[in-house]
Amino acid sequence: MPIILWKIIVFHFTAIPAVSWCFLNDVNPEENLDIPAIAKYFSTKGRYEEVNPHLIEDILAVNTSILQPPSAQCREIHLTAIIRHGTRYPTTKNVKKMQKLYDLVRGSAPAKDSWLRELQTQWTMWYTEDMDGRLVQKGVNDHRHLAVRLSKLFPSLISEKNLRGGLIKFITSSKHRCVNSTLSFKAGLTELWTITDQEFEHAVNDALMRFFDQCTRFVEEVDNNPSAMTELDKFREGAEMKRVEEKIADRLGVEYSLITDDMAEAAFYLCAYEFAIKTVNSPWCRLFDVVDAQVMEYANDLKQYWKRGYGYDINSKSSCILFHDLFSRLDNTVSENQLGQPVTEAVTVQVGHAETLLPLLTLLGFFNDSDALTSTNYATQTQRSFRTSHMLPYAANLLFVLYDCGGGDLRLQPLLNEKPVMFPGLTDQKASMPLYQDVKKHYRDLLQGCDFETECQLFKSPA
């Protein structure tokens, strides 16, 4: 696939009515009435600040003490950052669902509760189908601020000198929300260093950042196959979801038959989008209590588990191309470093989607619970590690930092959402920053195999 280079410097956004972009000053969400009580269950529609609540008080705060190399000699020589786009508008498909719910609420009997009267008489349906997943101003800020925080966390790598010298490379999905997120990340750095005399290119590469579209076996066997989502379908028709729908109907004062699983999802999304985009605790959120939100979160997790996670082997194998791209770059950096040559790519910033990150996280073995998520084990999965609200908020990021600790001691530290994580299966005391060779040994089967073309053939030949 051809790689397209861009030097776009203009942003285009749809206007948002009456929005304030101020950040909240209270770091305790439980005590802040401007934050919905259910905000931490919004799955892939959640704010990055719910994953890192300290950012509510100071959006540029970093804690450098989280980086603890095994010796003072260690120095960072490369960073790859794989980042989800920032906060966006709902897609056309979800706007249509929201419109149906809004019409139902507007057309129902006049409400006694003030919050419901507000939905019926004051709240207007301002989401339009042409918004279709575009980046919002909050999404611009997500990436501008992330760029500044990462420059504070890794100042020797994300530096003005490296940016001006072409040692920081930018790659993005072709989707407008990803291109604009990439532009926003770059703007965060150029504004930080007041760079006005130079522009910085980025490459559009869907083969890497939207690999799932080009993996035929994934598209046919999972993405376009309704039967692949059987567990999700059964859960949406099950007792837990039915109870949520009945409680919504009771709160709205309408017949149970009028609230479908799509209506419940639309209500949940309205609460989530109003908060993520406008920082508003909307009356839509009154349709759910915490128990309901946990059920909705599980439904979203089921979808992600079976469509992008551990549900089917091809979900993770579709990311083989991104996996090899990562390790090829790390190997190249190691080679240059061992030869005493300057590193030619100090930082690589790759901007994609939740659907880019989750298959790679799965391929690497992160958040793999002992029991699969199914339609029947909701009650026993309350402590599951596979929770997309924690893993994949807007602007979620998976970082790989390569360290040279002297004497050929090369180490690799992974971080998720700016917090160190441990490679699954590497359990020694220095597992948060294991030897690079140990990481390669751990993933040797994938490094020797995991061929994108072979894995993505519709009919794989038997081994």
Kindly state whether residue 34 falls inside one of the protein's structural domains.
no
Kindly state whether residue 18 falls inside one of the protein's structural domains.
no
* pTM assigned to the model: 0.92
Radius of gyration of the chain (CA): 23
Active-site residues, by number, are 85
Residue 307 has pLDDT above 70, yes or no: yes
Kindly state whether residue 5 falls inside one of the protein's structural domains.
no
Whole-number pLDDT of residue 324: 98
With a pLDDT cut of 90, the percent of the chain lying above it is: 87
Kindly state whether residue 194 falls inside one of the protein's structural domains.
yes
Whole-number pLDDT of residue 14: 41
Kindly state whether residue 326 falls inside one of the protein's structural domains.
yes
Beta strands in 243-330 (DSSP E): none
- Of 201, 211, 137, the closest CA to residue 450 belongs to 211
**Lowest mean pLDDT across 40-44, 67-71, 246-250, 397-401:** 67-71
Kindly state whether residue 180 falls inside one of the protein's structural domains.
yes
pLDDT single digits (tens) 368-410: 999 999 999 999 999 999 999 999 999 999 999 999 999 899 9
Whole-number pLDDT of residue 426: 86
Kindly state whether residue 58 falls inside one of the protein's structural domains.
yes
| Helix (H/G/I), strand (E/B), else coil: 134 | coil
Average pLDDT, the chain: 92
Helix axes 290-307, 261-278, angle to 10 degrees: 100
Q: How many structural domains compose the chain?
A: 1
Whole-number pLDDT of residue 411: 96
With a pLDDT cut of 70, the percent of the chain lying above it is: 91
pLDDT single digits (tens) 104-123: 999 988 888 999 999 999 99
Residue 18 has pLDDT above 70, yes or no: no
Kindly state whether residue 345 falls inside one of the protein's structural domains.
yes
Domain that holds residue 56: 39-456
Residue 345 has pLDDT above 60, yes or no: yes
The amino acid at 461: S
**Do the beta carbons of residue 184 and residue 143 sit within 8 Å?**
yes
Structure tokens at 38: 């259910």
Mean pLDDT value across residues 33-59: 96
Residue 22 has pLDDT above 50, yes or no: no
Residue 170 has pLDDT above 50, yes or no: yes
What length does the chain have?
463
Q: What is the CATH number of the domain that holds 247?
A: 3.40.50.1240
pLDDT single digits (tens) 191-237: 999 999 999 999 999 999 999 999 999 999 999 999 999 999 999 99
**Do the beta carbons of residue 170 and residue 81 sit within 8 Å?**
no
